[in-house]
Amino acid sequence: MDTLSICIVNYNVRDLLENCLRSILDNVGGMDCEIIVVDNCSKDGSAEMIQKNFPHAHLIANRENRGYAYGVNQALKKAEGEILLILNADIKILPQTLHRTLDFIKKREKVGIVGCRIRNPNGTLQYSCRTFPSLINFISESFFMDRIFPRSRLFGRPFMTYFDYKRTREVDVVSGAFMMVRREAIEQIGLMDEQFFMYAEETDWCYRAQNAGWKVYFYPGTEIIHYGSESTKQNSLSMFIRLHESHHKFIRKYHGAFYLFLVKSVLISGVVLRAAGFFIGGILQRIHKNETRLIGERFSLYWNTLLWYLGLMKPAQ
């Protein structure tokens, strides 16, 4: 049996995927592993690139995009490893990342899921740990409390901005960009929930793992580079609404209808606040004859999201 199965879901990020795969091969260092790439009907030649440049990788080329969780599950069903790594296509693996993280999880029998430290391309830290979604978290994000008081253990909860990312510790959720998972845990909690087309699938997985007695850990002994959001930028309105949908589904699944009503009220308030802010900002920019394109795009994003909440529009798929 392979020691490590690396599972990647790709959507229209051919060049980043190629860099990701090369970084894996450069740093696998004799480790027993397999690479499985699920391509979600990309139009940029991703599947052809894999076949040409990485013939030893297992390619699953989908004819339609049925979501990220669905793609991950396809890879998990094919994987043979005792440890599995769920990896975004826009990741660069750095030296010792795979070896050290694998060693960490294998030495701790109760650890079901592990995440590592993540850097932005410019070297800055990317917040990669979160607490489980809650009303206070949505209030903090919607009304900028997490930005005003990032070191507060109350308001900094959404992305744990108060946390020392040099410290190994148990957390609620680690980023789905890099999740090393024990097969035994997957066999107990099941595959990813495919009702989450994108976003919150890793949160749901971590929640189920902890409820089943497994630990979720952040391990800073190694790190990766995450180029981030290239797939989702291709239709930012659709993806932003997908994010809200995923919030709704998670809250409904675990907390019920009344709690979901409260959460929706907070989220709608946050959208209205941002739409109003960018509308006023656009007017002020016009008065001063400054560039307004970016402000207009942000206003359009929040305005159309508000229309979606009101049932007056559907986002482009």
Distances (CA, A) of 193 to 48, 71, 189, 231: 29, 11, 10, 21
The predicted-structure confidence for 159-171, as pLDDT tens digits, reads as follows 999 999 999 999 9
156 contacts 150 by C-beta, under 8 angstroms = yes
Question: 231 pLDDT exceeds 50?
Answer: no
pLDDT of residue 292: 75
CB environment 286-309: b (16+ within 10 A), e (fewer): eeeeeebeebbebbebbbbbbebb
Q: Which residue has the higher pLDDT, 122 or 198?
A: 122
Q: Which residues fall within 8 angstroms of residue 233, CB to CB, at 6 or more apart?
A: 239
DSSP class of residue 234?
G
145 contacts 116 by C-beta, under 8 angstroms = no
Indicate the SS3 state at residue 86.
Answer: strand
The predicted-structure confidence for 42-52, as pLDDT tens digits, reads as follows 999 999 999 99
288 pLDDT tier (thresholds 50, 70, 90): confident
Helices (H), 228-256: 236-255
Identify the CA nearest to 274 among candidates 247, 313, 300, 294: 300
Average pLDDT score over the chain: 93
Q: Which residues fall within 8 angstroms of residue 200, CB to CB, at 6 or more apart?
A: 133, 246, 247, 249, 250
pLDDT of residue 160: 94
The predicted-structure confidence for 100-119, as pLDDT tens digits, reads as follows 999 999 999 999 999 999 99
Share above pLDDT 90 across residues of the chain, in percent, rounded to a whole number: 86
Phi then psi dihedrals of residue 4, to 5 deg: -135, 130
The predicted-structure confidence for 244-257, as pLDDT tens digits, reads as follows 999 999 999 999 99
315 pLDDT tier (thresholds 50, 70, 90): low
CATH of 4-128+165-231, one of 3.10.310.30, 1.20.1090.10, 3.90.550.10, 3.30.70.2740: 3.90.550.10
The predicted-structure confidence for 58-97, as pLDDT tens digits, reads as follows 999 999 999 999 999 999 999 999 999 999 999 999 999 9
First CA to last CA distance, the chain: 39
Question: 1 pLDDT exceeds 70?
Answer: no
The CA-CA-CA angle for residues 214, 253, 314, to 5°, reads 130
267 contacts 142 by C-beta, under 8 angstroms = yes
Identify the CA nearest to 180 among candidates 37, 81, 59: 81
Phi then psi dihedrals of residue 133, to 5 deg: -55, 135
pLDDT of residue 2: 55
pLDDT of residue 95: 94
pLDDT of residue 116: 96
pLDDT of residue 198: 86
DSSP symbols for 284-302: HHHHTT---HHHHHHHHHH
Q: Domains of the chain: which residue ranges? A: 4-128+165-231, 256-309
8 contacts 37 by C-beta, under 8 angstroms = yes
pLDDT of residue 264: 97
Indicate the SS3 state at residue 222.
Answer: strand
Question: 316 pLDDT exceeds 70?
Answer: no
Distances (CA, A) of 23 to 27, 122, 123: 6, 18, 17
Question: 317 pLDDT exceeds 70?
Answer: no
Largest CA distance in the chain: 67
